[in-house]
Amino acid sequence: MVREPDIHICEVAARDGLQNLDVFVPTEAKCALIDAIAAAGVREIDAGSFVPPKVVPQFADVDVVMAHALSHQDKRIGALVPNFKGAERAIAAGVNSIYFVISASETHNRANVRRTVDEQVEAFRAVRAAIDARPAAERPQLMGAISTSFGCSLEGDISEAAVCNLARRFAEAGADEIGLADTVGYATPTLVRQIVSAVRCEVGPDVTLRLHLHDTLGAGLANAVAGLEAGIRRFDAAVSGLGGCPFAPGARGNIVTEDLVFMLERMGLSTGIDLDRLMQTREILARHIAAKHLTGHLHEAGIPKVLRRAA
């Protein structure tokens, strides 16, 4: 029997990692990236977003990429959706998870999905109803993702009350999981502990929480540790630190999956991920993406031999 890892990591490079690039990554490269991530032992992959190509051209091939990703039947394959139409496409594609995004920042929500927060909550309820109308075996998990949970480049500070209110509404509407996203990387360890604790109190102990962290100001891994201290055991991350939001000025990459895995394993926490194989994803990315977009301390320094022996 395979032991469950202590920490669950969802790899988001194929979606969040690519959405902000100014170059189209070929379909075959996206599929090769997903294959390499799966081969490294990652159990959940955010493989794309069902959005209009005119809004995010990078996902013009999402149907083909998603079909390929779903060939990895032992993995949980998910997709981000901004609205009910996107969710319909994701359900039809057969995804295992749907990540429905609403911003705690009203301004960012309008910029991101062209709707008010209230309108977006109603759309989420409609998605929940559409999923529940399907046979039980065909229902994808539905996560409510709260963007700008720790700050917004358009509004600045976001109140704890705004995040908790949206978390409560997600929970009441039937979210299987709630994700707290540091969309622009403004979080600090203190703020992470504060918001996670407040949301946990708001929604109760039975709702699963995860963190989606960016490293805009260099605090990404410190914030991950703060999340661990607050009880989080599920994290999003992107190989080579890819990522950013087209509708959040100044947003930079996600926390680096390779660095996160190394840190967690050195802390004695299992991830179930083969770090050496994960490091090989850099070769695929480097063929199509400028070096300035690829980050990661392990890629710069390597893994010291003495630490490999200690592991």
Domains of the chain: total: 1
pLDDT at 151: 95
In a domain, residue 32? The reply is: yes
Residue 192 sits in which domain range?
8-310
Q: How confident is the prediction for the chain on average, in pLDDT?
A: 94
1 lies in some domain:
no
Which pLDDT band holds residue 311 (cuts at 50, 70, 90)?
Answer: very low
Confidence of residue 310 (pLDDT cuts 50, 70, 90): very low
Residue 206 forms part of a structural domain: yes
Question: For the segment 191-247, what is each residue's pLDDT rounded down to a tens digit?
Answer: 999 999 999 999 999 999 999 999 999 999 999 999 999 999 999 999 999 986 655
Percent pLDDT > 90 in the chain is 85
Look up residue 306 and give its two tokens. 């003495």
Q: Is the pLDDT of residue 276 over 60?
A: yes
pLDDT tens readout for residues 146-155: 999 999 988 9
What backbone torsions phi and psi does residue 49 show, to the nearest 5 degrees? -135, 135
Task: Dump pLDDT digits (tens) for 96-120.
Answer: 999 999 999 999 999 888 899 999 9
**Residue 246: per-residue pLDDT:** 59
- Say which amino acid occupies 86: G
Asked, for residue 2, whether it belongs to a domain, the answer is no
Tell me whether residue 183 is in a domain.
yes
- Rounded CA-CA distance 191/70 in Å is 36
Q: At CA 77, angle to CA 74 and CA 81, rounded to 5?
A: 165
What's the pLDDT tens digit per position in 157-204?
999 999 999 999 999 999 999 999 999 999 999 999 999 999 999 999
Provide the CATH number for the domain around residue 146.
Answer: 3.20.20.70
In a domain, 3, yes or no: no
Long-range contacts of 300-306 (CB under 8 A, 24+ apart): 303/262, 303/275
Residue 59 and residue 19 in contact, taking contact as beta carbons nearer than 8 Å: yes
Q: Which residues contact 64 (CB under 8 A, 6 or more apart)?
A: 27, 31
How confident is residue 304, by pLDDT bands cut at 50, 70 and 90? confident
Catalytic residues: 245
Of 139, 118, 117, the residue nearest 130 (C-alpha): 139
Instruction: Report pLDDT for 20.
Output: 86
* Assigned domain for 297 exists: yes
d(CA 166, CA 250): 24
Other C-beta atoms closer than 10 Å to the C-beta of 307 total 12
pLDDT category of residue 301 using cuts at 50, 70 and 90: confident
> Residue 228 domain-assigned?
yes
